[in-house]
C-alpha cells in the first residue's frame, strides 16, 4: 500500500497518512485527520509499506480528507500575527530569565492551540511563560524544543557553495550525517569549519556523493596494504579516489630517509593499452 508523508510544521518530523482515493503530488497542501483534529500539511513524499507492520512500528496512520484550498490556508497564522506572538513570548522569556531561543510559531487548524518552537541547551522551566501566553491570547499554548539544524532550515542562509542551504531548499527530512561520510570522501582533513554548515553540524551535502566514493574505492588497495608495483614491493600510504591513484612508499637505501614515495595510477595499464 502506498502512503503519503506530510510535513505539518517545518521543524517537525513528517507524519504518515492514507491518501484514500486522492491522487496527490509533492508540494501540494492537504487537509488531513490528525490526532488533535484536522490539520493542514504539505505533501513531501510517498512510501510503499506493509500497512500492519507500519502501524505497529510507527503508530497511528492518519487520513487525508481533501486538498487544502485558499480559504483553508488563510486560516493559518499571518506573518503579522506570528510576529506579535513571537514578540510577546520573547519578551516574557527575557523577563523570566529563561535560557532559550524562540524561533517560530504555528497554530492548529481549528485555532485553539498555539505551538512555539524553541532552541535550548538543556531543560527549561517555562511553566510561567505558558500561563502568561495562554492568558494573553486565550488559547492552549504548547512549547516544542527543536534542534539547531531545524533552526537553520527555518531561517535559511547561503552555504559554502554560495547557494541556498539544502535544508531550506531541497531536503524535507534530515538524515544522520557522520564523520565516516567525510572520511569516505577524503575531506575530513579540511577541518571541521570547512565541512560544517551554518548550524555548526556536518554539512548535509556530505551524504550526496558518499555512495559514489565508496563504489569508486572498492577495487582500490586500502591504506596500509602491501602492493607490488612493477616488481617493487611497497606500502600504500594514501589514496586519491577521484584520480584513481595511490601513494606508495618504497624502501630505498640510497635516500637519506631510507624510502621514496611514488604516485601510482591504478589505470595506467589500461591507458597504455589504449595508447597502443
Cell numbers standing for residue 73: 490556508
Phi, psi dihedral angles at 130 (to 5 degrees): -65, -45
Residues in the chain: 276
CATH level 2 (architecture), domain 79-146 = 2-Layer Sandwich (3.30)
Question: What pLDDT, on the 0 to 100 scale, is given for residue 57?
Answer: 80
Q: Which residue intervals of 59-164 are DSSP H helices?
A: 70-74, 79-95, 127-137, 148-155
First CA to last CA distance, the chain: 57
pTM of the model: 0.71
Residuewise pLDDT in 10s, the chain (276 residues) = 889 999 998 888 888 999 988 899 998 999 999 988 899 999 988 988 888 887 888 777 899 999 999 899 888 888 899 999 999 999 999 999 999 999 999 999 999 999 999 999 889 999 999 999 999 999 999 999 998 888 888 877 888 888 888 888 777 778 889 889 998 898 888 888 888 988 888 999 999 999 999 999 998 999 999 999 988 999 999 999 999 999 999 998 888 888 999 999 988 877 777 765
Amino acid at each position: 500500500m502506498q502512503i503519503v508523508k506530510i510535513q505539518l510544521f517545518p521543524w517537525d518530523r513528517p507524519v504518515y497518512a492514507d491518501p484514500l482515493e486522492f491522487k496527490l503530488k509533492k508540494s501540494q497542501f492537504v487537509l488531513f485527520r490528525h490526532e488533535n483534529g484536522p490539520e493542514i500539511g504539505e505533501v513531501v513524499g510517498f512510501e510503499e509499506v506493509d500497512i500492519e507492520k507500519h502501524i505497529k512500528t510507527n503508530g497511528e496512520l492518519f487520513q487525508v480528507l481533501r486538498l487544502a484550498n485558499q480559504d483553508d490556508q488563510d486560516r493559518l497564522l499571518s506573518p503579522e500575527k506570528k510576529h506579535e506572538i513571537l514578540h510577546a513570548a520573547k519578551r516574557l522569556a527575557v523577563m523570566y530569565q529563561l535560557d532559550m531561543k524562540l524561533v517560530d510559531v504555528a497554530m492548529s487548524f481549528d485555532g485553539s492551540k498555539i505551538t512555539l518552537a524553541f532552541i535550548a541547551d538543556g531543560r527549561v522551566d517555562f511553566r510561567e511563560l505558558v500561563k502568561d501566553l495562554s492568558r494573553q491570547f486565550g488559547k492552549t499554548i504548547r512549547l516544542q524544543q527543536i534542534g539547531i539544524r531545524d533552526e537553520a532550515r527555518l531561517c535559511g542562509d547561503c552555504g559554502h557553495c554560495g547557494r541556498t542551504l539544502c535544508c531550506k531548499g531541497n531536503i524535507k527530512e534530515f538524515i544522520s550525517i557522520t564523520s565516516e561520510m567525510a572520511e569516505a570522501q577524503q575531506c575530513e582533513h579540511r577541518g571541521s569549519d570547512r565541512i560544517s554548515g551554518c548550524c555548526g553540524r556536518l554539512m548535509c551535502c556530505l551524504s550526496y556523493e558518499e555512495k559514489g566514493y565508496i563504489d569508486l574505492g572498492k577495487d582500490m588497495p586500502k591504506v596500509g596494504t602491501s602492493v607490488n608495483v612493477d616488481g617493487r614491493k611497497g606500502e600504500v600510504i594514501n589514496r586519491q579516489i577521484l584520480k584513481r591513484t595511490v601513494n606508495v612508499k618504497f624502501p630505498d637505501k640510497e635516500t637519506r630517509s631510507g624510502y621514496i614515495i611514488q604516485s601510482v595510477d591504478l589505470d595506467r595499464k589500461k591507458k597504455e593499452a589504449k595508447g597502443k
